[in-house]
Structure formats: structure tokens, C-alpha cells
Amino acid sequence: VTENIAMLPAKKSETIRTLESHVSIRSFNSTPVSEETLAMVLNAARRAPTSSNLQAYSVVVVRDPETRRRLSILAGNQRHVAEAPVFLAFCADISRIRLACQLHSKELAGDTLEMGLVAVIDAALVGMNVASAAESLGMGTVMIGGMRNHPLEVAATLALPEGAFVIFGMCIGWPERRPPQKPRLPEAAVIHYERYNSDGVEQALDEYDRQLESHFRGIDKPTDKASWTRRVATEFSRVRRGELRAAVRRLGFAFD
Ligand SMILES: Cc1cc2nc3c(=O)[nH]c(=O)nc-3n(C[C@H](O)[C@H](O)[C@H](O)COP(=O)(O)O)c2cc1C
């Protein structure tokens, strides 16, 4: 019987419908996000898997308008950071791990690439869980990598301890507008079966350039940035956030 069921195409779950309907939301209406709703989302998100059960992350919940205004400026004047009712800062955080070591008279061997990656991955997994949990309730989210523009100032604004830095932020609220979904790269470009296969990637990118151009035309956005390959080539042929390594080192992450 189980085998027969396994042969049937899987029926879509609510979770799959939520994931499929994701689109970043950058405009929010005035409905508040209640403490109860936020706590429910955060507590669900905290069930995320975590490397060696280290839970090497922290989340700072920011509702204070003045702090959000300051963070919006630090993020490169991103208005939605000031306008969303709730802003969350997701931190890679090894401060508790250092403390656990001290409690047992040991010193954390923490200045490694591995420890840094563990913390960044843990924080990212919780962040994605928060986004999905919030979106499953009909709320809107957008992640804010702009938090890495000025990591030291962001850390000071949020009073982070040594051993923590914000890997990205997130605006959460009830959507005012839900834009059309942005197309994703064709499956052939990103999913491989058994072995990586680069055949057809250029063709997939060409197809994606055309899809994105028509998406941007459809929403009356300038299409000069619409071609994915052209935008990537323009923006990523120069170093971005070149100061980041030195800044996160000062915050306790050597990534060596
Ligand atoms: C780690 C991360 C950082 C991001 N940073 C920003 C940001 O600073 N500002 C912003 O408006 N969107 C940001 N985004 C949202 C992306 O631009 C968006 O997810 C992407 O363009 C795809 O669009 P969609 O989410 O609507 O499908 C970020 C997304 C991720 C995953």
C-alpha cells in the first residue's frame, strides 16, 4: 500500500504553497504585528536545524521607530526598513559558545572559517524559517543585506556583544502591495541530478534574460537593469563591501 501511495504525485502541502508564493514585500500597511503573532513566528523559526546544536545565532527585534530610521540609513536609505512595523536583525553569534568554554575553563578555538560559517549558516536558517512562517500567515517580508554596508555602526546601534555581527536584517509587516513574482532561473540552470551538468546553462541564462526583461516591462520598471546577465556583469565585476572582512574581524570573526 505504501509503495502504491509513493507512486502517486505528491499533493501540495500548505507549506509548499507558502514557499511557492514567496515574493519580497517592501510596502506595509498600518496594521500592527502583535506580540503574540511575532512570538509564534519566532518560536517556530527557532526549531531550525543547527550545526552541532550550537544555535550560534541571535535575533534582535526592533520596533523602536528611531532605531529603525537609523538602520534604514545605514542600509543605504532603504525606506522599507523605517516603514515596516518590525525589523529583525539576524546575527551570527559565537558569544554564548565562548561563554560556555569559559565556564569550563577552556578557550574557544573560534577564529576559524569553520566557526564563522557555522554561525552564518545557523543565522540564515533561522532567518529563512522566520520568513516562511510569517508568509504562511499572510505577512510580508524582505531580507536586508544592506545591514552589511556598515557592520560596526549596526553592531553599535544594536549593542551587540563581541562575537556577533548582523548577517542580514528583515522587514516584517502586513503587505500593502503584493508585486508580481520575480521569475527564477530555469530549473536546468540550478538543479542537477546525480552529477553536475553544465550543458545548457548558457541557453538557460539566455532564456532567463528574456523572462526577466518581460517581467520588468510588465511592471513598468526600467529594463536597463532587467537582463540578469548584464546586471550581474555590471554590478559584480567590481568589489562590493571590500571593507567587510576587516569589520567582522573587529566584531570577533576572523574567518581564517
Ligand atoms: C540575504 C539577502 C539580502 C537581501 N538584501 C536586500 C536588501 O538589502 N534590500 C532589498 O530591498 N532586498 C533585499 N533582498 C531581497 C532580494 O532582492 C530578493 O529576494 C530577490 O531580488 C528576489 O526577489 P523576490 O524575493 O521578490 O522573489 C535580499 C535578499 C536576501 C536573500
pTM of the model: 0.96
CB 141 within 8 A of CB 19: no
Q: How many whole angstroms from 116 Cα to the centroid of ligand 1?
A: 22
- Give the atom of ligand 1 at the shortest distance from the alpha carbon of 76: 8
pLDDT in tens, 173-201: 999 999 999 999 999 999 999 999 999 99
Interval between CA 143 and ligand 1 midpoint (Å): 5
Burial class (CB in 10 A: 0-12, 13-18, 19+), 43: exposed
Residues framing ligand 1 (Cβ under 6 A): 22-24, 26, 75, 78, 142-146, 168, 182
Q: What is the pLDDT of residue 10?
A: 84
Q: Whose CA is nearest to atom 3 of ligand 1?
A: 145
**Percent of all residues in the chain with a pLDDT value above 70, rounded to a whole number:** 96
Q: Does 109 score more than 90 pLDDT?
A: no
pLDDT band at 2 (very low <50, low <70, confident <90, very high): low
Nearest to 59 by CA among 136, 170, 162, 141: 170
Using an 8 Å Cβ cutoff, are 226 and 216 in contact?
Answer: yes
Q: For 23, how many CA atoms within 13 A lie in the half-sphere containing its CB?
A: 13
Q: Residue 143: name the closest of 126, 156, 163 by CA.
A: 126
CA angle 72, 75, 79 (to 5 degrees): 40
pLDDT reading at 1 higher than 60 = no
Q: What per-residue confidence (pLDDT) applies to 220?
A: 85
SS3 state of residue 172: strand
Confidence at residue 153, expressed as pLDDT on a 0 to 100 scale: 98
pLDDT digit string, tens, across residues 110-157: 779 999 999 999 999 999 999 999 999 999 999 999 999 999 999 999
Residue having the nearest C-alpha atom to atom 19 of ligand 1: 24
Average pLDDT over residues 42-49: 98
pLDDT number for residue 60: 99
How large is the average pLDDT for residues 8-14?
A: 88
Confidence at residue 222, expressed as pLDDT on a 0 to 100 scale: 76
Residue 147 alpha carbon, nearest atom of ligand 1: 8
Question: Rounded distance, CA 172 to CA 162, Å?
Answer: 27
Query: At 225, is the pLDDT very low, low, confident or very high (cuts 50, 70, 90)?
Result: low
Reported confidence tier of residue 233, pLDDT bands at 50, 70, 90: very high
Instruction: Report the separation in Å between the CA atom of 192 and the middle of ligand 1, taken as the mean of its atom positions.
Output: 24
CA of 146 to the centre of ligand 1 (A): 10
Reading the block at residue 148, the C-alpha cell is: 552589511
Are 91 and 116 a contacting pair, CB within 8 Å? no
In what side-by-side order are the strands of the sheet with 164-173? 57-62, 86-93, 164-173, 140-144
| Whether pLDDT at 228 is above 90 | yes
CA gap 89, 145 in Å, rounded: 10
Q: How, if at all, do strands 140-144 and 164-173 pair? A: antiparallel
Residue 221 pLDDT exceeds 90 = no
CA distance 109 to 97: 10
59-79 b/e with 16+ CB inside 10 Å = b?
A: bbebeeeebbebbbbbbeebe
**DSSP annotation string for 73-118:** HHTTS-HHHHHSSEEEEEEEE-HHHHHHHHHTT------SHHHHHH
What pLDDT, on the 0 to 100 scale, is given for residue 9?
A: 79
Average pLDDT, the chain: 95
Mutation choice for ligand 1 from 78, 143, 170, 228, CB with most ligand atoms inside 8 A: 143
Q: What percent of the chain has pLDDT over 90?
A: 89
Measured from the Cα of 75, ligand 1's closest atom is: 8
| pLDDT of the residue at 3 | 62
Of 186, 182, 184, the C-alpha closest to 216 is 182
In this prediction, residue 111 carries a pLDDT of 78
Span 89-106, average pLDDT: 97
